[in-house]
Amino acid sequence: MKIFLAQQNYHIGNFEANVDKILAAIAEAKEQGGDLVVFSELCVCGYPPRDFVEFNDFIEQGMKAIDRIRMAADTIGVLVGCPSRNPKLEGKDLFNSAFLLEGQEIKGIVHKSLLPTYDIFDEYRYFEPAYEWNILNFRGWKIAVTICEDLWNLGDDPQYRICPMDELVKQQPDLMINLSASPFDYIHADERKQTLKRNVLKYDLPVVYCNTTGSQTEIIFDGGSLVMDRFGNIVKEFPYFTESLQAVTFREDGRFADPILISSEEVPERNIFPEKLNSEKNIARIHEAICTGIRDYFGKLGFRNAIVASSGGIDSAVVLALACEVLGSANVHALLMPSQYSTDHSVSDAELLSKNLGNPYEILPIESVYRIFEETLKPVFRDLPVGVAEENLQSRIRGTLVMAASNKTGAILLNTSNKSELATGYGTLYGDMAGGLGVIGDLYKTQVYALARYINRNGEIIPRNILSKAPSAELRPGQKDSDSLPEYDVLDPILYCYIERRLGPDEIIRQGYSATLVHRILKLVNVNEYKRNQFCPIIRISPKAFGVGRRMPIVGKYLS
């Protein structure tokens, strides 16, 4: 049996474009003599559709799309994902389903059993879990079809009471096929391989795993579809962040005719969550993920141009360089907005960066605007001491200017805040926290430096001085980030323990950190939840990002 996997980038709710893409892959698979072509989870409507599925019309459009695809499934079998209705009155109205189409008919439907409700997932809000499990028969083959999370519980996850494959294996399938929409984070590709290996070894069955790729707002899907034989050897690994249509041949003896690419010994059976932050880890793939996030955010919204507030610091430099790489330098406008406290090198560094990148830029000094604001606010500020309000005023003036430029030109403002700043509240609401997309908001400061070095891997793009100088917001004379925060190489590992690993203060202190420092940092994280709650979408690259995957109460007392 010649099985094609179609790893594709879909657009949520764009049924016409999604179906056209699916039909094109079916046509190519037929031309190459394919027996079966497999697509990813909810490919017909795009994943995650979220509250779109609450619209009756949305579900009807999905079923009309299935009818279009069904007509193309004449000489080939097709496995596609789409929401389907639950015929029972009990439970949710919908299933997350996989349709087997052949002979221009619906030959079988499989429903997802395990509906994740952690991190970015909220599937039980919309879907009913499967209540029966049956293999699909296809041209003499017995196939155990599962959907994404269904393969992630091997009977050892207490949040789930069932293990779908434990039920399906009783019917003696020949092969496992999984339709997936598995999002990217910088350790998740290894987790997938380990999970698939555990499945094939437990059930003594090979697996075909088809993932989606592309970005849906803040969530990145990296592809990396896999085919693994029953011994845990990888015989096919798809490229990451790229659409691809490839085939494997499954033989009657239960083996693949394709050669082994990665031996089972090279795939660990258990995943180990990194105990410590490694700022260099998978930085090349992080770079690809962020570029994918920018590309699809602009492309799927129909925008072409971006604006970046360029300060001469590392954060704005990295964002500007990434935007130019993805959108083209001519489409990225930098605004340099020095104040009376800005150093000469900040302007010159920002200018050199734009010259290296070839993007247009303007210098808009803000001191005169600041003086007008200062004079206007005298009745309110009176003779109170100069402090944070005046510092933040500079940031808000800059935010007003870049948003005005965005509004006037129709370009999207890219935010330049990093995860360390967002975690500790080191940012100004309606100032440097303004923007349409947070490009590096899931990168700790030490990771931003690692990404900058990666951007410079083939030559100096980001000026050396930007990489070497001490970070500063330059809102008062001689200001440095370290005046308000611990050094980033101390701060970031503690934040990682709290945010990614979800360790409490005592657990972090036992790792050798000062109790005073840990409590100070964790209090900063918690009391600044209200700021993050008003922030723009952040491109997700870590196992725990701010945004939809981390839902904390704004007025909570824990650790504060």
- Active-site amino acid positions: 41, 112, 148
Question: Is 317 in contact with 462 (CB distance < 8 Å)?
Answer: yes
Q: Measure the CA–CA gap between 31 and 195, rounded to whole angstroms.
A: 33
Among the residues of 42-108, which ranges form H helices? 56-72
**Cα dihedral sign, 500-506-510-513:** positive
Q: Measure the CA–CA gap between 375 and 382, rounded to whole angstroms.
A: 10
* Cα→Cα distances 306→272, 409, 439, Å: 39, 9, 12
Longest dimension (CA), the chain: 86
* Cα→Cα distances 332→195, 312, 397, 525, Å: 41, 16, 21, 32
Among residues 366, 300, 303, 362, which one has the least CA distance to residue 335? 362
Q: Measure the CA–CA gap between 133 and 166, rounded to whole angstroms.
A: 10
Q: What is the dihedral of CA 79, 85, 87, 92, to 10 degrees?
A: 120
Label each residue of 225-273 as H, E or C: CEEECCCCCEEEECCECCCEEEEEEECCCCCECCCCCECHHHCCCCCCC
Q: Residue 550 carries which DSSP code?
A: B
Q: Measure the CA–CA gap between 425 and 526, rounded to whole angstroms.
A: 9
**Three-class SS state of 220:** strand
Q: Which two tokens stand for residue 487?
A: 């050094």
Residue 401 is inside which H or E element, if any? helix 388-409
**Three-class SS state of 309:** strand
Q: What is the dihedral of CA 94, 155, 81, 180, to 10 degrees?
A: 130
Residue 473 CA from chain centroid, whole number: 28
CB-count burial class (<10 Å; 0-12, 13-18, 19+) for 39 = buried
Q: Which two tokens stand for residue 483?
A: 């005046």
Q: Which two tokens stand for residue 378?
A: 């005298």
Q: What is the DSSP code string of 136-204?
A: EEETTEEEEEEEGGGGT-SS--TT-S--HHHHHGGG--SEEEEE---B--TTHHHHHHHHHHHHHHHHT
**Cα dihedral sign, 368-369-372-378:** negative
Can you give the length of the chain in residues?
Answer: 560
